[in-house]
A and B are shown apart, each in its own frame.
Chain A
Amino acid sequence: MNIIIVGNGKVGRSLTRQLAGEGHNVVVIDRNPQVVEDVINDFDVMGICGNGASCEIQRQGGVAKADLLISVTQTDELNMLCCLLAKQLGCRHSIARVRTPEYTKQLEFMQKHFGISMLVNPEWEAADEISRILRFPSAIKLEPFAEGHVELAEIAIGGDNELIGKPVHMLHEKYRVRVLVCAVKRDDEAIIPNGDFVIKKGDRIYVTASRPELVNFMRALGLYRSRTRRVMIAGGGKVAYYLAKQMQEIGGCKVKIIEKSEDRAVELSEALPKAEVICGDATASELLDEQGLGVQDAFVALMGRDEENAILSMYATTKKVGKIITKSSRMSTNVLNGIGLESVISAKELATDRILRYVRALHNSEGTAVRTLYRIVDGKAEALEFSVPNEFPHTGVTFREMKLKDNVIIACIIRKNKVIFPGGDDCMEAGDTVIVVSSIQRLRTLQDIIE
Chain B
Amino acid sequence: MNYQMLRYVMGQIFKLTAALMGVPLMTALYYRDDGAVPILVVLLPLLFAGYVMTARKPVNQTIYAREGFVIVAFAWILMSVFGALPFVISGDIPNFIDALFETVSGFTTTGSTLLPDVESMPMSLIMWRSFTHWIGGMGVLVFALALLPSGSAQSMYIMRAEVPGPSVGKLVAKTQLTARILYGIYIFFTVLEAVLLRLTGMRWFDCIANAFATAGTGGFSVLNSGIGGYGNVWVEIVITVFMLIFSINFNLFYMLLIRQFSEVLRNVEIKVFFGIYLTTTLLITPNIMPLYGGSFWRALRYAGFTTASLCSSTGFGTADFTLWPAFSQTILILLMFCGACAGSTGGGLKVARVMILVKSGVSEIRRQLNPRLISTVKLEGQVVENEQIRTQGAFFILYMVILLVSTLLLSMDRYSFDVSFSAALTALNNMGPGLGAIGPYGNFADFTPFSKLVIIFDMLVGRLEIFPILIAFMPRTWKKA
Q: Which of A19-27, A390-398, A406-414 contacts B (4 or more CB under 8 A)?
A: A19-27
Is A40 within 8 A of B170, CB to CB?
yes
Residue of A nearest to B157 (CB): A41
Q: Across the interface, name the chain B residue whose C-beta is closest to A20.
A: B153
Interface of A is mostly: mixed
Contacting pair A25 B153 (CB below 8 A): no
Q: Per-residue 0/1 for A111-133: is the Cβ within 8 Å of any B Cβ (1 yes, 0 no)?
A: 00000000000000000000000
Stretch at the interface among B52-60, B172-180, B202-210, B285-293: B172-180
Which residue from A21, A25, A42 sits with its C-beta under 8 Å from B154?
A42
Beta-carbon contact of B172 and A46 below 8 Å: yes
Which parts of B113-155 form the interface with A (CB within 8 Å)? 150, 153-155
Interface string of A10-32 (1 = CB under 8 A from B): 00000000001101111100000
Q: How far is the CA of A156 from the CA of B173 in the complex (A)?
A: 41
List residues of B whose CB falls within 8 A of some A CB. Answer: 65, 150, 153-157, 170, 172-177, 385
Contact of A41 among B156, B173, B176, B385 (CB under 8 A): B156
The docked-state distance in angstroms from the alpha carbon of A43 to that of B173 is: 10
Which residues from chain A contact B157 at a C-beta distance below 8 Å? 41
A26 to B65, CA, bound (A): 22
- B150: chain A residues at CB < 8 Å are 23, 44
How long is the Cα–Cα vector from A26 to B173 in the complex, in angstroms?
Answer: 6
Among A20, A23, A40, A45, residue most surrounded by chain B Cβ atoms (within 10 Å): A40
Listed A/B pairs (7) with beta-carbon separation below 8 Å: A21-B153, A23-B150, A27-B173, A33-B385, A40-B170, A41-B157, A42-B154
Q: Which of B65, B156, B172, B385 contacts A40 (CB 8 A)?
A: B156
Check B172–A44 contact: CB distance below 8 A: no
| Contact partners of A248 in chain B: CB under 8 A | none
- Compute how far the CA of A47 lies from the CA of B178 in the bound complex, rounded to whole angstroms: 13
Provide the bound-state CA to CA distance between A42 and B65, in Å. 10
- Report if A283 contacts B (CB, 8 A): no
C-alpha gap A23/B149 in the complex (Å): 12
Interface pair B153/A42, CB less than 8 Å apart: yes
A2 touches B (CB below 8 Å) = yes
Minimum distance in angstroms from B144 CB to a CB of chain A: 15
Which of B65, B175, B385 sits near A44, CB closer than 8 Å?
A: B175
Name the residue in B150, B173, B175 with the highest tally of chain A Cβ atoms < 10 Å from its Cβ. B173
Q: Are B173 and A46 interface neighbours, CB within 8 A?
A: yes
Residues of A within 8 A of B385 (CB): 33
- Contact present for A25 and B156 (CB under 8 Å): no
In the bound assembly, the distance between CA atoms of A21 and B174 in angstroms comes to: 11
Q: Which residue of A lies closest to B64 (CB)?
A: A41
The dominant DSSP class at the B interface is helix
Which chain B residues lie closer than 8 Å to A46 at the CB level?
170, 172-173
Contact with B along A25-68 (1 / 0, CB 8 A): 11100000100000011111111000000000000000000000
Query: B154 contacts which chain A residues (CB < 8 A)?
Result: 41-42
Name the distance in Å between B302's Cβ and chain A's nearest Cβ. Answer: 43
Chain A residues closer than 8 Å to B172, beta-carbon distance: 25, 46
Q: What's the minimum C-beta distance from A49 to chain B, rounded to whole angstroms?
A: 9
A45 contacts across to B, CB distance below 8 A:
173-174
Identify the closest chain A residue to B152 (Cβ): A44
B150 nearest CB neighbor, chain A only = A44
- Determine if B174 and A25 form an interchain contact, defined as CB atoms under 8 angstroms apart: yes
**Residues from chain A with Cβ under 8 Å of B177 in the complex:** 25
Chain B residues whose C-beta falls within 8 Å of the C-beta of A41 in the assembled complex: 65, 154, 156-157
Most central of A20, A27, A44 by chain B CB within 10 Å: A44
Which 4 residue pairs are nearest across A and B when measured between Cβ atoms?
Answer: A25-B173, A46-B173, A44-B153, A46-B170
Partner of B156, one of A2, A21, A33, A44: A44
Select which of A2, A43, A47 is within 8 A of B153 by beta carbon.
A43
Task: Give the docked Cα–Cα distance between A21 and B61 (Å).
Answer: 13
B174 in complex: contacting residue of A33, A42, A44, A47, CB < 8 Å? A44
In addition to A20-B153, A40-B156, 14 A-B residue pairs with Cβ atoms within 8 Å of each other are: A21-B153, A23-B150, A25-B174, A26-B173, A33-B385, A41-B154, A44-B150, A44-B155, A44-B156, A44-B175, A45-B173, A46-B170, A46-B172, A47-B170
- What is the CA–CA distance of A47 and B170 in the complex, to the nearest angstrom? 8
Task: Point out the residues of chain A lying under 8 angstroms from B173, CB to CB.
Answer: 2, 24-27, 44-46
- Chain B residues lying within 8 Å of A44, measured Cβ to Cβ, are 150, 153, 155-156, 173-176
Which A residues are in CB contact (< 8 Å) with B174?
25, 44-45
Distance A398 CA – B177 CA, assembled complex (angstroms): 42
**Bound complex: CA of A23 vs CA of B150, how far in Å?**
9
Contact residues in A for B155 (Cβ distance below 8 Å): 44
- Which residues in window 64-116 of A have CB below 8 A to B? none
Q: Return chain B residues, CB-CB under 8 Å to A26.
A: 173
Docked pose: A431 CA to B263 CA in angstroms = 52
B residues in contact with A27, CB < 8 Å: 173
**Complex alpha-carbon distance, A20 and B153, angstroms:** 8
Cα of A2 to Cα of B173 in the assembled complex, Å: 9
Instruction: Name the residue on A nearest B385 (C-beta).
Output: A33
CA–CA, A44 and B153, complex, Å = 5
Cα distance A26–B177 in the bound complex, in angstroms: 12
Q: How distant is the Cα of A216 from the Cα of B31 in the complex, in angstroms?
A: 83
Residue of A at shortest CB range from B170?
Answer: A46
Q: Specify the chain B residue showing the minimal Cβ separation from A50.
A: B382
A25 to B153, CA, bound (A): 12
- Closest residue to A25 on the B side, CB-wise? B173
Q: Which of A20, A23, A42, A46 has the most CB of B within 10 A?
A: A46
How far apart are A50's CB and chain B's nearest CB, in angstroms? 10
Bound-state Cα–Cα, A323 to B425, Å: 72
Complex: how many Å from CA A47 to CA B167? 13
Q: In the complex the two chains form, what is the Cα distance from A25 to B170 in whole Å?
A: 12
Return the chain A residue nearest B258 by Cβ.
A62
Docked CA distance A47–B169 (Å) = 9
Complex: A26 Cα to B174 Cα, angstroms: 8
Could you say which residues of chain A place their CB within 8 Å of the CB of B153? 20-21, 42-44
Task: Give min CB distance, B387 to chain A, whole Å.
Answer: 8
Distance (whole angstroms) from the CB of A52 to the closest CB of chain B = 16
A21 to B172, CA, bound (A): 16
Contact residues in B for A25 (Cβ distance below 8 Å): 172-174, 177
Q: Complex formed: what's the CA distance from A127 to B157 in Å?
A: 40
Q: Chain A nearest CB: distance from B388 CB in Å?
A: 10
> What residues on A are CB-neighbors of B176 within 8 Å?
44
Task: Write the chain B residue with the least CB distance to A43.
Answer: B153
Distance (whole angstroms) from the CB of A151 to the closest CB of chain B: 35
Whole-angstrom CA separation of A45 from B153 in the bound complex: 8
A259 vs chain B, min Cβ distance (A):
41
Rounded to whole angstroms, the CA-CA distance of A42 and B156 in the bound complex is 8
Distance in angstroms between the alpha carbons of A20 and B174 in the assembled complex? 9
Q: Tell me, in angstroms, the Cα distance from A45 to B172 when the chains sit together.
A: 8
Contacts of A21 in B (CB 8 A): 153
Question: Which of A21, A26, A42 is most buried by chain B, counting CB atoms within 10 A of its CB?
Answer: A42
Chain B: which residue is nearest A28 at the CB level?
B173
Q: Smallest CB-CB separation from B171: which chain A residue? A: A46
Looking at the assembled complex, report how far the CB atom of B64 sits from the nearest CB atom of chain A, in whole angstroms.
Answer: 8
CA distance A23 to B151 in the complex (A): 11
Q: Complex formed: what's the CA distance from A337 to B416 in Å? A: 72
Q: Determine the chain B residues whose CB is within 8 A of the CB of A42 once the complex forms.
A: 153-154
- Minimum CB–CB distance from B257 to chain A (whole Å) comes to 14
When distances are taken between beta carbons in the complex, the residues of chain B under 8 Å from A23 are: 150
CA–CA, A23 and B65, complex, Å: 23
Bound Cα distance A26, B155 (Å): 15
A45-B175 Cα distance, complex, nearest whole Å: 7
**CB nearest to A27 among chain B residues:** B173
Q: Find the B residue at minimum CB distance from A24.
A: B173
Question: Which residues in B have their C-beta under 8 angstroms from that of A33?
Answer: 385
Provide the residues of chain B in CB contact with A40, threshold 8 Å: 156, 170
Docked pose: A42 CA to B172 CA in angstroms: 16
A65 nearest in chain B by CB position: B258
From A4, which residue of chain B is reached at the shortest CB distance? B173
A42 and B173 CA atoms in complex are apart in Å by 13
Taking CB atoms, residues of chain B closer than 8 Å to A20 are 153
Chain A residue contacts of B65, Cβ below 8 A:
41
The answer for the CA separation of A46 and B142 in the assembled complex, in Å, is 17
